[in-house]
Amino acid sequence: MNDRTLCWKLSEDIKQATELSKRSGKAHIVCESDPDGGNTYNIDKAAEDAVIEYLRGNDIRCNLISEEIGKVSFGNDFTMILDPVDGSNNAISGLPFYCTSLAIVREEGPSYGLVRNLGWDEWFEGLSEYGSLVNGKPIVYSPQSRMISLYTRKGRYIDELRTLTKKLRCFGSVALEMCYVANGSLMAFVDVRDKMRATDIAAGRIIIECLGGLVTDINGDPLDIEENNVNVVAAVDRDFHKKIINTLR
């Protein structure tokens, strides 16, 4: 089974699990909470359990890094980085802006990323050495707006970024927002909360980088694919990425 087929199969299982969770009326129930105030909802756990069940049942020998459970080893053929439901609060609130994010990374060979919008029929893919796709067709980067997606704390960097655009937004699903950077619906994605994790950005990063874009920290330095608790600046337009970095310094 190739990487694309595996990720698509898992996204199907996740989609079914999330729909069952919502229909049960239990999607909003909190299963766990972390010290930073993050919650694992029933919908998150159901989606993650579906992935773990498939990996175990089909002897998929990988290291899994997942949003909820952390790191689990089923083997060493490759690393899978998963956010089962990115935008859980949107999902349980009835807002159709949430997704699943899957990335496969190998020590040698191409990486693959899939972000599947679970709110409506849309998906984004990135395969290193090949390119990025939306709904199976090559993404043609075409800037369509002046919006930047910004995640901040206590107003950090808002005034600075307003020198570049007055249109700052926050939609609640990082992976999807990175994909809309990839197709030009957003100019850039910026997170300055010191809390981005590999599971949040791995697939979106592959998709942007396959278009020649940049995903770095706020100093413009590269990020390790498994790095956590980081700030992020992502843009396809490298000149605009540089403008953001210079503005934040």
| Token pair recorded at residue 195 | 């809390």
Evaluate if pTM is beyond 0.75: yes
What stretch(es) of the chain map to CATH 3.30.540.10? 3-138
Q: What class does CATH assign to 148-248? A: alpha beta
Distance, CA of 81 to CA of 106 (rounded, Å): 11
- What is the band of 232 on the pLDDT scale with cuts at 50, 70, 90? very high
What stretch(es) of the chain map to CATH 3.40.190.80? 148-248
Q: Which residue, chain included where needed, has tokens 């100019």?
A: 187
- What is the band of 20 on the pLDDT scale with cuts at 50, 70, 90? very high
Give burial (CB, 10 Å; 0-12/13-18/19+) of 49. middle
Dump pLDDT digits (tens) for 86-95: 999 999 999 9
Mean pLDDT of the chain: 93
Rg (CA), the chain: 17
Distance, CA of 71 to CA of 88 (rounded, Å): 20
Q: What class does CATH assign to 3-138? A: alpha beta
Distance, CA of 178 to CA of 149 (rounded, Å): 9
pLDDT of residue 34: 63
Using alpha carbons, select from 11, 36, 61 the residue that is nearest to residue 197. 36
Distance, CA of 234 to CA of 246 (rounded, Å): 14
pLDDT over 80 at 33, yes or no:
no
Dump pLDDT digits (tens) for 165-220: 999 999 999 999 999 999 999 999 999 998 889 999 999 999 999 999 999 999 99
- What is the band of 109 on the pLDDT scale with cuts at 50, 70, 90? confident
What average pLDDT does range 160-166 have in this prediction? 94
Distance, CA of 62 to CA of 107 (rounded, Å): 12
pLDDT of residue 127: 93
**Which amino acid appears at position 86 of this protein?**
D
